[in-house]
Amino acid sequence: MYMVRIAGVLDDWGSWPIDGAEERTGESWVYFSSQLVAREFAKAHGSKVERARWEVNLDYQREWTAKAVGRHWWIAPEWDQSAAPDGRIRLGMKMGLVFGAGDHDTTCGCLEMMERLDFSKKNIFDLGTGTGILSEAAIRLGAATAVACDLEWDAALMAHKRGVAAYQGPSFALPDAAFDVMLVNVPGYVHLDLSPEYGRLLKPGGDLLLSGYYEWQGERIEAALPQFRKIDQILRGDGWVASIFSHATATASSD
Ligand SMILES: C[S@@+](CC[C@H](N)C(=O)[O-])C[C@H]1O[C@@H](n2cnc3c(N)ncnc32)[C@H](O)[C@@H]1O
């Protein structure tokens, strides 16, 4: 988690994907899970990025409780060792400075939408894995392999600790058409940048699960995906989208 101090009260969040803010005397402390976004926000506000203090994170971590998500999942903090209710698959919420413990609306939206996809024997790429929760879920749903990446070292390390094949870095070095399903829960503007990668990395006919953006950003994101057809969408919380797209299969030439 990263923090940027700005003068006064932050009353206009605009389109910044902010994870939280606290009012302090004469200033606001604004929190981000992404270091890149924190840097941009700091630049725009003439401030600098700091590592968030552990106590702040621990305060809200204490509020985490186990909960059911969708039809299959039971997400539970690591200290809660109670058994998952019958028929539900337990996914551990990982504590620390990495996004994706499991309780955010975008993560829950992805987990819910994953129930509508076929993972059996599929090769999965989880771009922006955070704590690795979506990769673990894909494996639990029968995926043959799950490869994950994140720009943040802490994230790759944490995903690794939960048994996910994660690396730190971008997707660009991966081979073309290597994956049957891609899971991408990143902020809206990142989808705009990465959309060519989705077409390159997915096999024709592959499934793309996107989240991390608001409903009002959907039109621009869909316009950046001309080779994809949207087949399903849900909204959670304050208008967070989780959507499934199908990669168009190449059509035979008519001449
Ligand atoms: C919203 S979190 C999602 C975490 C997890 N996948 C989940 O669903 O809970 C987004 C993650 O994507 C990472 N990220 C953002 N842009 C990225 C990029 N271009 N390539 C790889 N990772 C990226 C961030 O560091 C962050 O850990």
- Nearest atom of ligand 1 to the alpha carbon of 155: 27
Give the mean model confidence (pLDDT) for residues 224-242: 95
In angstroms, what is the span from residue 194 Cα to ligand 1's centroid? 12
Nearest by Cα to 100 from 186, 170, 29, 4: 186
Residues 17, 35: contact at Cβ < 8 Å?
no
In angstroms, what is the span from residue 8 Cα to ligand 1's centroid? 29
Q: Is the CB of 97 under 6 A from ligand 1?
A: no
Q: Which CATH class is domain 104-247?
A: alpha beta
The backbone torsions φ and ψ at residue 36, rounded to the nearest 5 degrees and listed phi first, read -65, -45
In angstroms, what is the span from residue 129 Cα to ligand 1's centroid? 5
Q: Is the CB of 186 under 6 A from ligand 1?
A: yes
Query: 18: which 2 tokens?
Result: 């902010």
- What pLDDT score does 27 carry? 85
pLDDT digits (tens, 9 = 90+) for 156-200: 988 998 899 999 999 999 999 999 999 999 999 999 999 999 999
Query: Which residue(s) pair with 168 in the sheet?
Result: 150
Cα–Cα distance measured from residue 101 to residue 95, given in angstroms and rounded to the nearest whole number: 7
Compute and round to an integer the Cα radius of gyration of the chain: 19
Cα–Cα distance measured from residue 15 to residue 55, given in angstroms and rounded to the nearest whole number: 27
Give the mean model confidence (pLDDT) for residues 104-123: 96
Query: How is the chain split into domains, by residue range?
Result: 2-60, 104-247
Q: Is the CB of 101 under 6 A from ligand 1?
A: no
Query: 221: which 2 tokens?
Result: 């994101």
Q: Model pTM greater than 0.85? A: no
Query: 6: which 2 tokens?
Result: 């700005």
Residues 130, 151: contact at Cβ < 8 Å?
no
- What pLDDT score does 96 carry? 62
Please give the residue that has the higher pLDDT: either 21 or 126: 126
- Nearest atom of ligand 1 to the alpha carbon of 183: 6
Query: Which residue(s) pair with 4 in the sheet?
Result: 30, 49
Q: Is the CB of 146 under 6 A from ligand 1?
A: no
- β-bridge pairing 20-24 and 27-32: antiparallel
Cα–Cα distance measured from residue 46 to residue 14, given in angstroms and rounded to the nearest whole number: 17
Other CB atoms within 10 A of residue 121 CB: 10
Query: 109: which 2 tokens?
Result: 């939206």
- Nearest atom of ligand 1 to the alpha carbon of 150: 22
Other CB atoms within 10 A of residue 153 CB: 12
- What pLDDT score does 25 carry? 77
Cα–Cα distance measured from residue 98 to residue 158, given in angstroms and rounded to the nearest whole number: 8
Atom 8 of ligand 1, nearest CA residue: 107
